[in-house]
Chains A and B, each alone.
Chain A
Amino acid sequence: MTVELSVDPPPEKPAKKPAAKAGPAWLVPGAVAPIQRADPYLDIETYDPEADLMVLNLGPQHPSTHGVFRVKLYLDGEIIVKAVPFAGYLHRGVEKLCEKLAFTQITPIVDKNDYVSPMMNEQAINLAFEALLGAEVPRRARYLRTLVAELQRIGSHLLWLGTFALDLGGALGGGSTVFLHCFRERELILDLFEALTGCRFHYNTHTVGGNRHDIPEGWASLVKQALTVIESRLPEYEELMTHNGIFVKRTRGVGVVDGELCLELGITGPMARAAGVDYDMRRDAPYHAYDEVEVRVQTETAGDCQARTLVRIREISESIRIVRALIDGVPEGPICGHKPIKIVLQERSAGGQAYAALESPRGELGTWVIGGGVNKGTSPYRLKIRPPSLHAAACLPYVLPGHSVSDAIVILGSVDPIMGEVDR
């Protein structure tokens, strides 16, 4: 965009704000200042010969690691000196497996990556395939994808909220109150998906060029009922979590990640927005039907565990608003622009590369796909999934040192890594 400068510039007004406050364009004003990063490559031999360091392996089976993830902690007393995360316990070789499968066979495989929001995986992979194969998605399918994406975001954030309360444990009376409340509400979302696709999880409802299951009769009213219930209970979570003095003490100022570190690490999504990064692919690089609906990006400035909680709770309300705005205006028409799939090998690509990404509940979930694989190009030659959780978990060596072990559990929970996606 070019801006025409007037020949006669108006006299300069005195700056209202001190210059130090004006940050870069991608940060909201007042965002947290860059933190003192810990050195992830610290040589522990030279740290302090006098210190009596203890090595503690957090995980891989610890319940607060949300799966199988190991962090090797070097402790000086109870304070972490160095943290070395180990991934790969859940590595299944999804990318290698996809090189042998046809494009239409891959959707149910990637369902299991981010097992908290399977819809997002399907959409992300099919967006890339559609870009590679040049498939058109009809308008009704784009609306339907937007609807299920936002419903999935509600369900995913609810599950995170419940398990985060469990991580905080004793601070919230065991945490199981919030946990059970969140799972009760998440059940409503799963019921909606069951009505739509016949499955409660791992749906396999998206395909190249559209969707496979059309909206059933009366689904819109079911969605509205469920949203009313969830919305009426959101203030309870606010009270149980953010208005709880112990919760605030355990999360405020803990695990601060600044916006610059977020971008360098490739962290997007609620974690970056909690640090003041004003970026959301739904608004800034719209896909599906997001260009037809207003998306209000939720940001916080503190960048700590409390800010991440606030951002995610507000994103639930925001998703409810987006679904309400779209649910009555779903256009009529086909839900799949392609021929119905009779043989799985009908999609072919001679070559070329494509990258497409969307905003999953954890950040930018992208797929890099190179066409022209085995069986005359009916499979991808190479497929790379860009998992937001892997980038988020990579912040741990920079953030954990200086915190106590109990804080490490809180930070790990607030980062929200899904191990199926980290390891693939």
Chain B
Amino acid sequence: MKGAPKNEELEQLLAAEFGVTEFPADAPPLVDRTRHLELATKLKALGYRLYVTVVATHYLPQAASKAGPEQPEHFEVATALRKPTQGGALAAWRCKLAVGEGIPSLVGLFAGADWQEREQFDLVGVRFDDHPDLRRLMMPDDWEGHPLRKDYAIDTACTPWR
């Protein structure tokens, strides 16, 4: 991933215990979604105690082209943790979700994941399993749709504020 130095420690951990073989230079490595919580637990024990952020992204279905093979509609959830010491090593990884699939919540490990995951649930519509309080954070509770999805046009009509 660009902008942060290469994290050897994370790559060794992923290669040894999580069966990850691909480490793209311009994106965080892909990890199986069922092992998301396990990886976060291991990283926290290694000293990555600062919760940085979680980013969910929506991808529309794509036909096969020069850019790559055919892709069904899916989501990607990227998570980042940091070591609060010299160097501030950043550990970031992605999980790929099909439509309707959820991802384990990190609230039990990092209290800060509560609001961050609520925001991503609200705006992108990704479900975080076992989240104790999965409500909308930014939009009103009766809002329809998830604004940061790619099929949600920027000028989608909204019901008037009540």
| Minimal beta-carbon separation of A33 from chain B (angstroms) | 17
Does B123 interact with chain A (Cβ within 8 Å)?
Answer: yes
A191 to B88, CA, bound (A): 35
Does A263 interact with chain B (Cβ within 8 Å)?
Answer: yes
Does B2 interact with chain A (Cβ within 8 Å)?
Answer: yes
Binds A, one of B11-19, B31-39, B45-53, B96-104: B45-53
List residues of chain B with CB within 8 A of the CB of A131: 2-3
* In contact, B3 and A263 (Cβ under 8 angstroms): no
CB-CB under 8 A for A382 and B154, given A264-B110, A265-B111 = no
Does B142 interact with chain A (Cβ within 8 Å)?
Answer: no
1/0 per residue B107-132: CB within 8 Å of A? Answer: 00111101110010001000000001
List residues of chain A with CB within 8 A of the CB of B2: 131-132, 134, 352-355
| Minimal beta-carbon separation of A422 from chain B (angstroms) | 9
List residues of chain A with CB within 8 A of the CB of B57: 370, 381-382
* In contact, B26 and A368 (Cβ under 8 angstroms): no
CB-CB under 8 A for A355 and B80, given A91-B138, A96-B147 = yes
The B-contacting residues of A in range 381-421, CB under 8 angstroms, are: 381-382, 384, 386, 390-391, 394, 398
List residues of chain A with CB within 8 A of the CB of B10: none
Does A190 interact with chain B (Cβ within 8 Å)?
Answer: no
CB-CB under 8 A for A88 and B137, given A131-B2, A391-B112, A394-B114 = yes
* In contact, B154 and A263 (Cβ under 8 angstroms): no
List residues of chain A with CB within 8 A of the CB of B111: 37, 261, 264-265, 394, 398
List residues of chain B with CB within 8 A of the CB of A261: 111
* In contact, B138 and A368 (Cβ under 8 angstroms): no
8 nearest CB pairs, A to B: A131-B3, A352-B26, A285-B88, A266-B112, A354-B2, A265-B112, A356-B3, A266-B51
Does A423 interact with chain B (Cβ within 8 Å)?
Answer: yes
* In contact, B148 and A354 (Cβ under 8 angstroms): no
Of B82, B110, B123, most A-chain CB atoms within 10 Å: B82
Q: 4 other contacts beyond A40-B114, A355-B53, with CB at 8 A cut-off?
A: A95-B123, A263-B50, A265-B110, A265-B112
Does B84 interact with chain A (Cβ within 8 Å)?
Answer: yes
Does A268 interact with chain B (Cβ within 8 Å)?
Answer: yes
List residues of chain A with CB within 8 A of the CB of B136: 88
**Which of A97, A99, A263, A281 has a CB less than 8 Å from the CB of B49?**
A263
Interface SS of chain A: helix, strand, loop or mixed? mixed
* In contact, B148 and A266 (Cβ under 8 angstroms): no
Does A15 interact with chain B (Cβ within 8 Å)?
Answer: no
Does B4 interact with chain A (Cβ within 8 Å)?
Answer: yes
* In contact, B138 and A88 (Cβ under 8 angstroms): yes
1/0 per residue A87-105: CB within 8 Å of B? Answer: 1100101011101100000
Chain A, interface residues (CB within 8 Å), range: 35 or more
1/0 per residue B48-89: CB within 8 Å of A? Answer: 011111010100000000000000000000101010111110
A277 to B83, CA, bound (A): 12
**Which of B78, B87, B92, B123 has a CB less than 8 Å from the CB of A285?**
B87
A33 to B77, CA, bound (A): 34
* In contact, B154 and A354 (Cβ under 8 angstroms): no
The B-contacting residues of A in range 170-225, CB under 8 angstroms, are: none
| Minimal beta-carbon separation of A258 from chain B (angstroms) | 12
A215 to B29, CA, bound (A): 42
* In contact, B53 and A100 (Cβ under 8 angstroms): no
List residues of chain A with CB within 8 A of the CB of B85: 25-26, 279, 284
* In contact, B50 and A353 (Cβ under 8 angstroms): no
Q: Which residue of B lies closest to A386 (CB)?
A: B53
- Offer 28 A-B interface pairs, CB within 8 angstroms, sorted by A: A87-B115, A95-B123, A97-B154, A127-B3, A261-B111, A263-B50, A264-B112, A265-B51, A266-B110, A266-B112, A279-B88, A351-B26, A353-B1, A355-B1, A355-B3, A355-B80, A368-B53, A368-B55, A368-B80, A382-B148, A384-B55, A386-B52, A390-B115, A390-B119, A391-B51, A394-B111, A394-B114, A423-B138
List residues of chain B with CB within 8 A of the CB of A353: 1-2, 26-28, 78
Q: Which residue of B lies closest to A364 (CB)?
A: B52
Does A128 interact with chain B (Cβ within 8 Å)?
Answer: yes
List residues of chain A with CB within 8 A of the CB of B132: 41
List residues of chain B with CB within 8 A of the CB of A394: 111-112, 114-115
A205 to B55, CA, bound (A): 28
* In contact, B27 and A352 (Cβ under 8 angstroms): yes
* In contact, B84 and A93 (Cβ under 8 angstroms): no
A26 to B84, CA, bound (A): 6
**Which of A96, A127, A132 has a CB less than 8 Å from the CB of B154?**
A96
Q: Which residue of A lies closest to B82 (CB)?
A: A364
List residues of chain B with CB within 8 A of the CB of A357: 52
CB-CB under 8 A for A354 and B114, given A26-B85, A266-B51, A370-B57 = no
